[in-house]
């Protein structure tokens, strides 16, 4: 599996099927590869594509590639247990704010304080 940004689109050939139109793109990518990729919508320069080659690149100028879903990314860091503790701490801070005992601007501070207490 490889991911790269589209540097240029050399050509686009629409192909009508019973399930709609497929667009076959001859692409030049930022990683230096040239590929032929079929998608249900037209691609744009600058977009990232995740793919796997299904033809030999040495035999074809634009070898066929199979589009793949990009790997999932997570902005969460820490262990599962830490994430649960952080959620519990946040819920506690929200409950204080909803009763008017602390202001909305203090939620982050109380969340961090509760989290540190729970981690001990």
pLDDT at residue 63 in the model: 96
From 21, 38, 53, 101, select the one nearest 93 (Cα to Cα).
101
12 φ, ψ (degrees, to nearest 5): -135, 125
Fold of 2-67: OB fold (Dihydrolipoamide Acetyltransferase, E2P) (2.40.50)
**Predicted TM-score of the model (pTM):** 0.60
Say yes or no to pLDDT of 17 above 80. Answer: yes
Does residue 40 contact residue 21 with C-beta atoms inside 8 Å? Answer: yes
pLDDT at residue 74 in the model: 65
Give the tens place of pLDDT for each residue, 52-72: 999 988 899 999 999 998 777
Q: In the chain, where are the structural domains located?
A: 2-67, 80-119
Does residue 119 contact residue 78 with C-beta atoms inside 8 Å? Answer: no
Q: How far apart are CA 18 and CA 4, in angstroms?
A: 30
Give the tens place of pLDDT for each residue, 94-119: 999 999 999 999 999 999 999 999 98
């Amino acid at each position: 599996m490889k991911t790269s940004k589209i540097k240029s689109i050399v050509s686009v050939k629409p192909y009508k099927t019973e399930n709609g139109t497929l667009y076959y793109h001859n692409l030049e990518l930022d990683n230096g590869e040239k590929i032929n990729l079929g998608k249900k919508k037209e691609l744009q320069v600058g977009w990232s594509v995740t793919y796997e080659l299904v033809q030999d690149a040495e035999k074809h100028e634009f070898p066929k590639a199979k589009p793949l879903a990009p790997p999932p990314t997570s902005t969460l860091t820490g262990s599962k247990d830490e994430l649960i503790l952080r959620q519990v701490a946040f819920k506690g801070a929200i409950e204080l704010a909803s009763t008017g005992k602390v202001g909305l601007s203090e939620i982050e501070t109380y969340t961090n304080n509760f989290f540190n207490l729970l981690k001990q």
